Amino acid sequence: MSQPFIIDSHTHIGLYGRLPCPEMSVPERLAMMDRLGIALAIGSDQEALAEGGHAGLTLARRAYEESRGRLLAQGIFDPRAANRCLGELNDALGWAGLRGLKIHPTMHATPADAPSYAPAWHFAAAHDLPIMTHSWSASAHNPAQALSTPERFEPFIKQFPGVRFVLGHAGGRGRGRAEAVRLARTYSNVYLDFAGDIFCHRLIENLVAGVTAKKILFGSDFPWLRPEAHLTRVLLAPLSTAEQADILRHNAARVYKIEETPCSPST
């Protein structure tokens, strides 16, 4: 890349207390992004996700300011604390750092099709904000993942066709990913990111074949994974330069309403 071009659409800030997680200061993170050609990153406060009850925007605002606008935020909606989250999100309207909402049915112990998520969808529709969600396949090792299987989101997807909706982790593995692909192929407002520990053979090629490169967003799940883990998969996949550019930047810019600049990937 001749200059930072990539948008990493699935990241986190802050510390997560349940598992070891590497800590990186904002200057260190920006240096890493510059080395890898990443212009912007969009993420949520993982400590706030884990503890629940608020939108996690205090740390996000500090990161946005310290990064001079390169670390953008998704405000968290916890359906168990809907009024507080909506109040904080409403207060953040007009702040350039706020680019969408993040929901996590598994972590918040609430199935994705529960009526208590309706306020988040109404808020997103009213303010032209996208929603990004954790999604995964059913897992015997982690039964709570059943709360986030892709098909559970379909009633809200149908009800709110104007809300841009990103299935984080592309539904995980196996049936979950197949359902995520089906939803992205069926509904114009549904997109996929492939962040996380999904190391399936020819993942990028199969996603492109299933939904086209226009529906896929690059995401790293940083700091759980370094961006290189998935960045190399895109760069080494048998894609055209235009398809790579869509996945690495343009789709995220469209979903998260990020003004495009003249920069382009080197060829």
pLDDT for residue 24: 86
Identify the DSSP state of 249: I
Contact 188, 214 (CB under 8 A): no
| Answer CATH for 6-255 from 3.20.20.140, 3.30.70.120, 1.20.210.10, 3.30.70.260 | 3.20.20.140
Per-residue pLDDT tens listing for the chain (267 residues): 467 899 999 999 987 756 666 778 999 999 999 999 999 999 999 999 999 999 999 999 999 999 999 999 999 999 999 999 999 999 999 999 999 999 999 999 999 999 999 999 999 999 999 999 999 999 888 999 999 999 999 999 999 999 999 999 999 999 999 999 999 999 999 999 999 988 888 999 999 999 999 999 999 999 988 999 999 999 999 999 999 999 999 999 999 999 875 444 433
Contact 6, 231 (CB under 8 A): yes
Question: What size, in residues, is the chain?
Answer: 267
The Cα-based distances of 86 to 53, 222, 264 in angstroms read 11, 26, 37
Domain boundaries defined on the chain: 6-255
Contact 8, 229 (CB under 8 A): no
pLDDT for residue 95: 98
**Secondary structure class of 95 (helix, strand, coil):** coil
pLDDT for residue 266: 37
